[in-house]
Amino acid sequence: MSIPAGRLRAAILAILLSASAAHAVVVRGRVTNQLGAGVSGARLQLLLGNSVVATGVSGPEGEYELRSSEGGRFLLLTSSQGFATTPSRSFYGGRLDLVQQDVTLRLDERKDEITVTATGLPTTLSQTSSSVSLIQPDALWPRYGVSEELRLMPGVQIVQSGQMGGQTSQFVRGGQSDGNRVTIDGIPAEDMGGRFDYGNLASFALDTIEVHRGPDSVTVGSGATASAVRLVTQQGTTIHPVLRYTGDAGNFHTWRNEGDLSGSARKLDYLLGFSRVDSSNALPGNRYHNATSAANLGFALNAKTSLRFTLRNTDAAVGVPNAHDFYGISDNAKQADQILISGAALDFQATSAWHNLVRYGVTRKREQLFQFSPVGTPITSFGFTTYYGRPVTITGANGFSVSGQAAMDFGLAYPTRSDQVSNRDQLYYQTDYRFSQHLAVLGAFRYEDERGIYKNSAYGTFNKGDRGNYGYTLQMQGDFASRVFYSLGGEIEKNALFGLEGVPKLGIAWYPIAPGNGFAHGTKLRFNFSKGVQEPTLTEQFSSLYSLLLSSGNAAAINTYHVTPMNALRSRSYEGGLEQRLLSQRGIVKLGYFHTQFDRQIEYVDAGTLINIFGIPSGIAYSIFGADLNSLAYRAQGLEAESEWRLTKHWFARGGYTYLDANVQRSLSGDAVSGGLATTNPNFPGIAIGSTSPLVGQRPFRRPTHSGFFAVQWTASKWSAALKGALVGRSDDSTFLSFSDINSGNTLLLPNKNLDYAYQRLDANLAYQWKPSMSIFTQLDNLTSQQRTGPIGYPGLPFTFRAGIKLRLVRE
pLDDT in tens, 647-700: 999 999 999 999 999 999 998 866 555 555 678 999 999 899 998 889 999 999
| 133/142 Cα distance (integer angstroms) | 20
CB atoms within 10 A of CB 736: 17
Question: Where does a domain end: 104, 129, 151?
Answer: 104
Please provide the average confidence, as pLDDT, over all residues in the chain: 91
Residue 620 lies in a domain: yes
Note the pLDDT of residue 120.
77
Note the pLDDT of residue 12.
47
Greatest Cα-to-Cα distance within the chain, rounded to the nearest angstrom: 122
Tell me: the pLDDT tens digits for 319-360?
999 999 999 999 999 999 999 999 999 999 999 899 999 999
- With beta carbons less than 8 A apart as the criterion, state whether 581 and 110 touch: yes
CA angle 238, 430, 120 (to 5 degrees): 70
Q: Which of 74, 93, 114 is closest to 23 using CA atoms? A: 93
Tell me the mean pLDDT in the region 503-514: 95
- With beta carbons less than 8 A apart as the criterion, state whether 214 and 130 touch: yes
- With beta carbons less than 8 A apart as the criterion, state whether 445 and 422 touch: no
b/e per residue 65-80 (b: at least 16 CB within 10 A)? ebbbebbbbbbbbbeb
- With beta carbons less than 8 A apart as the criterion, state whether 677 and 669 touch: no
Q: DSSP class of residue 610?
A: I
Q: Which of 133, 128, 143, 8 is closest to 724 using CA atoms? A: 143
Note the pLDDT of residue 3.
54
287 and 436 part of one domain: yes
Residue 550 lies in a domain: yes
Residue 10 lies in a domain: yes
**Which residues does 8 contact at the CB level (< 8 Å), separation at least 6?**
none
The CATH number of residue 709's host domain is: 2.40.170.20
Collapsing DSSP to helix, strand or coil, 217 comes out as helix
| 106/85 Cα distance (integer angstroms) | 8
H helical segments located in 75-164: 137-140, 147-150
Residue 611 lies in a domain: yes
Tell me: the pLDDT tens digits for 741-793?
999 999 999 999 999 999 999 999 999 999 999 999 999 999 999 999 999 99
| 218/200 Cα distance (integer angstroms) | 28
| 602/179 Cα distance (integer angstroms) | 11
Question: Where does a domain end: 71, 104, 137?
Answer: 104
Q: Which amino acid is at 345?
A: A
Question: What are the respective helix, strand and coil percentages of the chain, to the nearest 5?
Answer: 10, 55, 35
C-alpha distance from residue 355 to each of 65, 351, 429, 477, 748 (Å): 20, 7, 11, 15, 60
Residue 205 lies in a domain: no
| 51/733 Cα distance (integer angstroms) | 62
Note the pLDDT of residue 97.
87
Pairing of strands 180-184, 167-172: unpaired
- With beta carbons less than 8 A apart as the criterion, state whether 322 and 303 touch: no
| 118/328 Cα distance (integer angstroms) | 46
Residue 35 lies in a domain: yes
Tell me the mean pLDDT in the region 493-513: 94
Q: Is residue 21 pLDDT above 90, yes or no? A: no
Region for residue 793 given its phi and psi (left: phi exceeds 0; alpha: psi -120 to 50; beta: otherwise): left
- With beta carbons less than 8 A apart as the criterion, state whether 4 and 12 touch: no
Note the pLDDT of residue 23.
57
Tell me: the pLDDT tens digits for 225-246?
999 999 999 999 888 899 999 9
Note the pLDDT of residue 671.
58
Portion of the chain with pLDDT greater than 70, in percent: 95
CA angle 644, 509, 354 (to 5 degrees): 110
Q: Please give the distance of CA 445 from its chain centroid, rounded to a whole number.
A: 22
| 322/335 Cα distance (integer angstroms) | 11
Region for residue 223 given its phi and psi (left: phi exceeds 0; alpha: psi -120 to 50; beta: otherwise): left
Question: Would you place residue 7 in the very low, low, confident or very high pLDDT band (cuts 50, 70, 90)?
Answer: low
Tell me: the pLDDT tens digits for 699-710?
999 999 999 999
Tell me the mean pLDDT in the region 528-547: 91
Note the pLDDT of residue 217.
83
DSSP 346-408: EEEE-SSSEEEEEEEEEEEEEEEEEE-S--SEEEEETTEEEEE---EEEE-TTS-EEEE-BEE
Q: Is residue 14 pLDDT above 50, yes or no? A: no
Note the pLDDT of residue 88.
87
Note the pLDDT of residue 20.
45
Collapsing DSSP to helix, strand or coil, 344 comes out as strand
pTM for the model stands at 0.91
Q: Say how many domains are in the chain.
A: 2
Residue 566 lies in a domain: yes
Question: Would you place residue 108 in the very low, low, confident or very high pLDDT band (cuts 50, 70, 90)?
Answer: low
Q: Which amino acid is at 379?
A: I
H helical segments located in 76-146: 137-140
| 700/662 Cα distance (integer angstroms) | 7
Q: Which of 247, 282, 285 is closest to 144 using CA atoms? A: 247
Tell me: the pLDDT tens digits for 160-181?
999 999 999 999 999 999 999 9
Q: Which of 575, 599, 595, 642 is closest to 118 using CA atoms? A: 575
Portion of the chain with pLDDT greater than 90, in percent: 72
Pairing of strands 98-100, 25-32: parallel
What dihedral angle (degrees, nearest 10) is formed by the CA atoms of 533, 538, 541, 544? -120
| 643/732 Cα distance (integer angstroms) | 28
Note the pLDDT of residue 183.
96
Note the pLDDT of residue 551.
81
Parent domain of 91: 5-104
The CATH number of residue 19's host domain is: 2.60.40.10
Q: Is residue 13 pLDDT above 50, yes or no? A: no
| 142/36 Cα distance (integer angstroms) | 35
Question: Where does a domain end: 56, 79, 104?
Answer: 104
- With beta carbons less than 8 A apart as the criterion, state whether 358 and 344 touch: no
b/e per residue 306-333 (b: at least 16 CB within 10 A)? bebebbbbbbbbbbbbbbbbbbebbbbb
| 629/606 Cα distance (integer angstroms) | 11
Tell me: the pLDDT tens digits for 454-473?
999 888 889 899 999 999 99
Note the pLDDT of residue 111.
52
Collapsing DSSP to helix, strand or coil, 324 comes out as helix
Collapsing DSSP to helix, strand or coil, 464 comes out as strand
Note the pLDDT of residue 5.
55
Residue 132 lies in a domain: no
- With beta carbons less than 8 A apart as the criterion, state whether 735 and 750 touch: yes
